Amino acid sequence: MGQCTKSLRGVCTPSTIKELLETKLAEAKPAVTAEESADKANAAEEVKSVECTKFTNPNQYIPEKKDGITQINTDHLLHEFDFSDAADHIGEEISLRACVHKIRQMSGFAFLILRTGRYLIQSLYVPEQCKDSITGLREGNFVWVRGKVTKNEKAVGGVELQLSALEVIANCNEEYPLKVSNKKLGCALDINLDNRSVALRNIYERAIFKIQEGVVGGFREFLIGQGFTEIHTPKIVAQGAEGGANIFHLEYFDKPAFLNQSPQFYKQTAVAFFDRVFEIAPVYRAEKHATSRHINEYIGLDFEMGYIDSMYDVMAMETACLRYVMEYLKKHYAFELELLEADVPVIRDIPSVTLLEAKEILGNKGSKNKLDLEPEDEVAICEYAKKTFDSDFIFVTHFPSSKPPFYAMNSREDPRLAYKFDLLFRGLEITSGGQRIHDYQEQLDKMHAQGLDPEDFKYYLEAHKYGLPPHGGLGIGLERLVMKLLGLSNVRQASMFPRDINRLLP
C-alpha cells in the first residue's frame, strides 16, 4: 500500500479508508432533495430484491494450447434449441439459453415463456422444485435454464419444461417500450420502425424474416439445382443499369460514382462464361415515392440464363422456381407459416397476357395509361386471373420498346414492342424480366434510339463485342414477394430496417 496522508496515519484499514472517502464525497456533492433520496432508496431496495442467480458455466469451452499457441477446435460448438431436441428427451433433463419472453405469476408457481431464436418454450417454475429464485426476474432477461421435459399438448410444440435451475446471463435494464409478448404489437408502423430493435423481438414480427430467409433459401437451392452459379457483383458503379434519374450519387475518392440500380450488366457479362447465373443482393433506387409498395433499398433475387429460344424460357424457369419456393416454405417453415396465418399459393401453370390483352380485359375499368400498368390496373388484372384461372399470379408481356430498359430485345413480329414481361402477384408487380439483346450492333442501335451514348457503356458493350449467347433473365423484389405472400399492408413490414425517402434510421 502507498503512503497514507496525515489524517489517515494509524487508521489505514480498508474500512476506515472507505468511511473517510464516503464522507469527503458527500461533502463535495450538492445537496440532495428528499424526493431524490426517496427515489434512490427505492432503487436500492429494488436492486436488493433481485435474487436471481448469476450465470456461471463450469463447462465453458476453454481452448487448449499446443507449443504455447492457442488451438481452436470444433468439439464444443454451442447448440441452438430445437423442439425435436425436447421431443426426443421426454422425462429427461435438458438445459438451454433463452430470453424471458413473458412471466405469468400464479398462486404458488409461475409460467415462464422463454424465447429462443425461433421458438417459444413454456416452462413451469415451482419454488420447491427449482434451486434458484425468480424474484426480480423481468421480461427481457437472458437466462440459462435446466429442467425436465414433459408433455403438454396445450403448450407450443407440445412440450413443457419443469425448471430445476435458472440463472441470469444478462439483464434487461429498462421495460420494453412495446408489448413484445403480445402475438402482434398492435402499434402504428412508424412506432414499430422507430423501436425496431425491440419490435423484432415480437414473435410475429421476427417470423416475417424467417419466411424471408426461406424464400431466399428455396430460390438459391432451386437455381443451384438447375445449374446456375451464384455470383456477387459491385454495388458501387460508374453508371446505372436502368437509366433515368433514379440513381444515388456518391463520391468515390476523386471520381463520381453511383449505387447500383441492378446487377444487370454483370449478369449479362457472366452468361458468356457461366451460362446461368444468379445473385441475391441489395438494389438501390432513388425514387421519391412515399407509398406502401416502395422502398429505396431492397433485396433483389436476380437470375440470367443463356441459350434461350425466347423470353418464355425465362418465364417457365420463374414459374418452376416459385413453385419450388412455396413447397420449400411448407416443408421447412411450417411453424412460421401457421403463426403468420399465411395463405401459401398452389402454383400450377401461370397465365400470361400481353399488355394490349390486359388493357382489353380491363376495358373501361383500366387506367388511361396505354404504355404501362398503373397500380389499380395490377389489382384488377390479378382479380381477373384469380377469378378466371384460380391463379394468384399472372404474367404481362410485350411492353413498348420505346420505354426502358435499353437492353430489352425488340419483338421480331412488331418492333414497337419489346420481349419484356412483368409478373404480378395478388395485385402487385413483383418481377421484371425478359429477353436481352445479345447482338452488338443491335444493342448499339437501341442505345442510339433511346438517346444514350454507347461510350458511357463501353465496358458493358465489351461483352457484346466479343460475343454473347441468346439470353434472358429477371429480377424479383424479395420484400414485395414476402409482403404479398403474408398479406402485409406495407412493404416496409417486410424489410428488417427499411430505407425510404423519410427514413435513414435505425
In a domain, 1, yes or no: no
Boundary (domain end) residue, out of 175, 207, 232: 175
51 is a catalytic site residue: no
pTM (two decimals): 0.88
| Contact partners, residue 146, CB within 8 Å, separation at least 6 | 93, 94, 95, 163, 164, 165, 166
State how far the Cα of 117 lies from the Cα of 100, in Å rounded to an integer: 12
In a domain, 183, yes or no: no
371-404 as b/e, with b when 16 or more CB fall inside 10 Å?
eebeeebbebbbebbeeeeebbbbbbbbbebeee
Boundary (domain end) residue, out of 175, 190, 217: 175
Q: Is residue 251 within a helix (H) or strand (E), and if so which, with residue range?
A: strand 249-252
Same domain, 211 and 144: no
Same domain, 108 and 256: no
Within a 13 Å sphere around the CA of 14, how many CA atoms are in the beta-carbon half? 0
Whether residue 192 contacts residue 156, with contact meaning beta carbons closer than 8 Å, is answered with no
Same domain, 373 and 246: yes
443 CB neighbour count, 10 Å cutoff: 24
Closest alpha carbon to 120 in 341, 337, 335: 335
118 is a catalytic site residue: no
432 is a catalytic site residue: yes
State the residue for C-alpha cell 437470375: 303
Active-site residue, selected from the candidate residues 139, 167, 429, 479: 429
Q: What single letter denotes the amino acid at residue 389?
A: F
In a domain, 387, yes or no: yes
Active-site residue, selected from the candidate residues 276, 293, 438, 464: 293
Same domain, 230 and 96: no
- Domain, as residue range, for 266: 198-494
Whether residue 311 contacts residue 397, with contact meaning beta carbons closer than 8 Å, is answered with yes
In a domain, 88, yes or no: yes
What residues in the chain have per-residue pLDDT under 70? 1-50, 243-245
User: How many folded domains does the chain comprise?
Assistant: 2
The number of residues in the chain equals: 506
Closest alpha carbon to 482 in 471, 490, 473: 490
In a domain, 315, yes or no: yes
Same domain, 438 and 372: yes
CATH of the domain at 168: 2.40.50.140
- What pLDDT, on a 0 to 100 scale, did the predictor assign at position 198? 98
Same domain, 240 and 168: no
499 is a catalytic site residue: no
138 is a catalytic site residue: no
Active-site residue, selected from the candidate residues 262, 391, 432, 495: 432
Whether residue 486 contacts residue 340, with contact meaning beta carbons closer than 8 Å, is answered with yes
Rounded to 5°, angle at Cα 210 from 204 and 211: 90
In a domain, 89, yes or no: yes
Same domain, 120 and 249: no
Same domain, 313 and 167: no
436 is a catalytic site residue: no
CATH of the domain at 228: 3.30.930.10
In a domain, 20, yes or no: no
Strand-pair partners of 276: 305
- What pLDDT, on a 0 to 100 scale, did the predictor assign at position 79? 83
Active-site residue, selected from the candidate residues 294, 426, 438, 492: 294
Whether residue 232 contacts residue 226, with contact meaning beta carbons closer than 8 Å, is answered with no
State how far the Cα of 307 lies from the Cα of 410, in Å rounded to an integer: 17
- What pLDDT, on a 0 to 100 scale, did the predictor assign at position 80? 84
Same domain, 258 and 374: yes
Active-site residue, selected from the candidate residues 213, 287, 327, 357: 287
Active-site residue, selected from the candidate residues 97, 101, 285, 492: 285
DSSP assignments along 168-189, one per residue? EEE---S--SS-TTSSS--S-H
Give residue 434's region: left, alpha or beta (phi > 0; psi -120 to 50).
left
Active-site residue, selected from the candidate residues 436, 480, 492, 495: 480
Same domain, 414 and 476: yes
Closest alpha carbon to 352 in 404, 316, 305, 301: 316
495 is a catalytic site residue: no
Same domain, 345 and 213: yes
DSSP alpha helices (H): ranges in 226-276? 264-274
- What pLDDT, on a 0 to 100 scale, did the predictor assign at position 37? 52
Q: Is 370 helix (H, G, I), strand (E, B) or coil?
A: coil
Cell, residue 13:
484499514
- What pLDDT, on a 0 to 100 scale, did the predictor assign at position 287? 92
Whether residue 305 contacts residue 472, with contact meaning beta carbons closer than 8 Å, is answered with yes
Closest alpha carbon to 212 in 197, 200, 224, 194: 200
In a domain, 117, yes or no: yes
Same domain, 245 and 159: no
Strand-pair partners of 261: none
Interstrand relation of 417-425 and 393-400 (parallel, antiparallel or unpaired): antiparallel
- What pLDDT, on a 0 to 100 scale, did the predictor assign at position 365? 79
Phi and psi angles of residue 447, each rounded to the nearest 5 degrees, phi first: -60, -45
239 CB neighbour count, 10 Å cutoff: 18
